[in-house]
Amino acid sequence: MCFLCVSAGATTDDDSYSDFIEDDNTPQLDYKDPNWCRSLQLSNGEVTCRPPRGGAHRGMLGTRCGMTCDRGYRLLGRRSIQCLANRLWSGTAYCRKIRCYVLPLIPHGRYTCTQGFFVDSRCDFTCRPGYRIEGEHSRTCQPRGSWSGVQPECSDTDPPKIKCPPSRLKVADPGKLTARVSWDPPAATDTADKFLKYPPGTDFKEGLHVIRYKVYDQARNRAACKFIVRVEVRRCPELPPPLHGYLSCSSDGNNYGAECEYLCDGGYERRGTSSRVCQFNRSWSGAPAECVREYRVTQTTQRDTNFSNHETVLLLIACFVSLYRQVFRISRSYFSMVLLDELGVDRERFIVPVSSDELFSYIDGFLLEEEERERLELHRDFCE
């Protein structure tokens, strides 16, 4: 820049002012120069400019630029500056990283932070064994430089520890519907109260039983545990009563160890085992019994012949014929008469009733030995 210099001294009448030309070095304003002001840069931030005549140039005369910082940074300086005629910007700005204050330590605990004490860093608090966090478990450094939440505390509120025995299955004793179940007493531990013990249970009925234990320490902190006791009553299939009879069973009728006795109605007698017992493998001992009719026989004397060694004919009475059909599920069309010997053995069945002569003839031939049968054939005329 040039300056105009003037000398001071004595003057005479002959002195006179001479003409001079003023040198104007003021810069000429150019609103079209894209680089009138230097290009702006903002570390960790963003510059947004608006030229006065539009366009994308950020250094034109009269351009106004806004300054913003990234998350975690704070702007120091002017938020808005303008490109001036002297080719300078009207102000300056820069971004500084935001930092939260150092968190104090908590008694009986500690904390760890993800990014130190800067924005978005999370500090997690933990307590020593036997203590528990009360309050916030973590705090986060916020964009304004303050921590979220409030400082937590470590309190001696850790509950005691108790361990229950494993669940168990018990089969009821023979002839019973209950079982005596025992287990090792559970023990509870606590930092202050040491050990606590509880007694086991006694008898349990059939089914599931949930056993719960609770323990409290001196600070009234509670701990609990539970396990299951299952009592199983082993049972056999339901035993059907005999036809024309009934059962008399002990205990619950079909549980392990129960005994069922076969009893018959009046006029019937038991044939087979007297009782059966439900076994551990869920099956009944022995075989089922049956109730048979007490039948009467009629004794008919054969006519005087040479075959007097076979005198007795046993005829089943009509009521037993009906029972016989029911027991063996035989249709009425199969027989109407049954011939039994003196031991009650079924010898022959007749579909239609036969006369006494026909019956004697059959008996004479059926009950003879081979030699006697031959003699009978030889002397049939004499017998008739």
- Which candidate, 72, 61, 69, places its Cα nearest to that of 93? 69
User: Which ranges of 236-355 would DSSP assign to H, the alpha helix?
Assistant: 318-328
What's the burial of 135, exposed, middle or buried (CB within 10 Å: 0-12/13-18/19+)? middle
Q: Can you give the residue ranges of every domain in the chain?
A: 45-97, 109-155, 161-232, 245-293, 297-383
pLDDT in tens, 288-305: 999 987 644 444 433 433
Q: Alpha-carbon distance 262 to 11, whole Å? A: 166
Q: Tell me, which fold does domain 245-293 have in CATH?
A: Complement Module; domain 1 (2.10.70)
Q: Alpha-carbon distance 177 to 50, whole Å? A: 94
**Amino acid found at 293:** R
pLDDT in tens, 80-93: 999 898 889 999 99
146-165 in b/e burial notation, b at 16+ Cβ within 10 A?
Answer: ebeeeebbbebebbbebebb
pLDDT tens-place values along the chain, 384 residues long: 333 333 333 333 444 334 434 444 545 677 677 788 888 889 999 998 888 777 677 788 888 999 999 998 999 999 999 989 888 999 999 999 899 999 999 988 999 999 999 999 999 999 988 788 889 999 999 988 899 999 999 887 777 888 888 998 999 988 888 888 888 878 787 754 555 444 555 788 889 988 888 888 766 788 888 899 999 999 999 999 999 899 999 988 899 999 999 999 887 889 999 999 999 999 999 999 999 876 444 444 334 334 333 333 334 333 344 444 455 555 444 556 677 666 666 667 766 677 766 766 666 565 555 665 666 566 554 444
Model pTM?
Answer: 0.38
Q: Alpha-carbon distance 324 to 292, whole Å? A: 9
**Which H or E run contains 381?**
helix 380-383
Contact 111, 125 (CB under 8 A): yes
**Amino acid found at 211:** I
Q: What pLDDT was estimated at residue 351?
A: 67
Q: Alpha-carbon distance 60 to 171, whole Å? A: 98
Report the CATH architecture of 109-155: Ribbon (2.10)
**Amino acid found at 15:** D
- Which candidate, 320, 257, 310, 267, places its Cα nearest to that of 291? 267
Cα–Cα distances (Å) from 372 to 301, 306, 379, in that order, read: 20, 11, 11
Common-topology check for domains 45-97 and 161-232:
no
81-114 in b/e burial notation, b at 16+ Cβ within 10 A?
Answer: bbbeeeeebeeebebeebebeeeeebeebebebe
| CATH hierarchy code of domain 45-97 | 2.10.70.10
Report the CATH architecture of 161-232: Sandwich (2.60)
